Amino acid sequence: MSNKYADRSHVVRIIFIVVFVLFVGRLAILQLFSSEYKEKAEQQSLRNITQYPARGFIYDRHGELLVHNEAVYDLMVIPRMVKDLDTVLFCQSLGITRDDFEERMVKARKYSPYSASIFMKQISKEEYARFENKMFRFKGFYISQRTLRIYDRPIAAQVLGYVGEVNDDDLKRDPYYRMGDYIGKSGLEKSYEEVLRGIKGRKVMHVDVHNREIGPYRNGELDTLPVEGSNLYTSLDADLQAYAEELMANKRGCVVAIEPSTGEVLAMVSAPTYDPNLLVGRIRGANYVMLNTDIAKPMLNRALLGQYPPGSIFKVAQAMTALDLGVITPNTGFVCDKHPGCHNHPSARSVREAIKMSCNPYFYQVYRRVIQQGKYKSIYKDSQYGLTVWHDYMLRFGFGQKLDIDLPKSGMSTGNIPDTAYYNRWYGKERWAFSTIYSNSIGQGEVTVVPIQMANLAAIVANHGWYITPHVVRFYGKDSIQDEKYKIHHETGIKKEYFDIAADGMYDVVHVAGGTARRARVDGLDICGKTGTAENYGNDHSVFIAFAPKNNPKIALSVYVENAQGGGGSWAAPIAGLIIEKYLNGEVKRKDVEKMYREINPCQKLPLTRRIKKKK
* 106-164 residue pLDDT tens: 999 998 888 788 899 888 888 888 888 888 889 888 888 888 899 999 999 999 999 99
Query: How long is the chain?
Result: 616
- Per DSSP, 231 falls in state P
> Phi and psi dihedrals of 100, rounded to 5?
-60, -45
- Mean pLDDT computed over 322-329: 97
Residues of the chain above pLDDT 70, percent: 90
Amino acid identity, position 205: M
* Angle of CA points 169, 170, 172, to nearest 5°: 65
DSSP β-bridge partners for residue 270: 254
How do strand 46-51 and strand 58-59 relate by DSSP bridges? unpaired
How remote is the C-alpha of 602 from its chain's centroid?
26
Q: Are strands 264-271 and 65-77 parallel, antiparallel or unpaired?
A: unpaired
pLDDT exceeds cutoff 70 at 38: no
Please tell me the predicted confidence (pLDDT) of residue 42. Answer: 47
Q: Running DSSP on this structure, what letter comes out for residue 485? A: G
CA distance 545 to 284: 36
Sort strands 528-534 and 541-548 into parallel, antiparallel or unpaired.
Answer: antiparallel
- Measured between its terminal Cα atoms, the distance across the chain in Å is 150
Own/partner contacts of 586-590, CB < 8 Å, gap of 24 or more, are 590/522
424/411 Cα distance (integer angstroms) = 29
pLDDT for 34 equals 52
- Mean pLDDT, range 52-69, rounded to an integer: 96
Handedness of CA 62, 63, 64, 65 (dihedral sign): positive
How do residues 440-486 score in pLDDT, each as one tens digit?
999 999 999 999 999 999 999 999 999 999 999 999 999 999 999 99
Residue 611: per-residue pLDDT: 38
- What pLDDT was estimated at residue 373? 96
- CB-neighbour burial class of residue 407 (10 A; exposed 0-12, middle 13-18, buried 19+): buried
pLDDT at 22 over 70: no
Instruction: Report the distance separating Cα 476 and Cα 491, nearest Å.
Output: 27
Buried/exposed code over 446-475 (b: 16+ C-beta within 10 A; e: otherwise): ebbbbbbbbbbbbbbbbbbbbbbbbbbbbb
Minimal CA–CA distance to 252: which of 542, 592, 447, 546?
Answer: 542
Average pLDDT over residues 563-583: 93
Distance set, CA 301 to CA 15, 259, 294, 407 (Å)? 80, 20, 14, 11
Distance between CA atoms of 98 and 79, rounded to whole angstroms? 16
**pLDDT digit string (tens) for 242-290?**
999 999 999 999 999 999 999 999 999 999 999 999 999 888 889 999 9
Q: Please tell me the distance from the alpha carbon of residue 530 to that of residue 511, in angstroms, as a whole number.
A: 12
Per the CB < 8 A criterion, the answer to whether 55 and 149 are in contact is yes
- Residue 538's pLDDT is 73
pLDDT band at 33 (very low <50, low <70, confident <90, very high): low
Cβ neighbours of residue 512 closer than 8 Å, sequence gap 6 or more: 356
pLDDT band at 615 (very low <50, low <70, confident <90, very high): very low
What mean pLDDT is predicted for residues 327-351? 83
Tell me what the pLDDT averaged over the chain comes to.
Answer: 89
Distance between CA atoms of residues 483 and 327, nearest Å: 40
pLDDT of residue 529: 97
- For the stretch 163-207, pLDDT in tens is 998 999 999 999 999 888 899 999 999 999 999 999 998 888 777
> Average pLDDT of 284-298?
93
How far, CA to CA in Å, does 472 sit from each of 194, 244, 347, 459, 508? Answer: 17, 16, 43, 15, 31
Report the run of H or E that residue 348 belongs to, with start and end. none
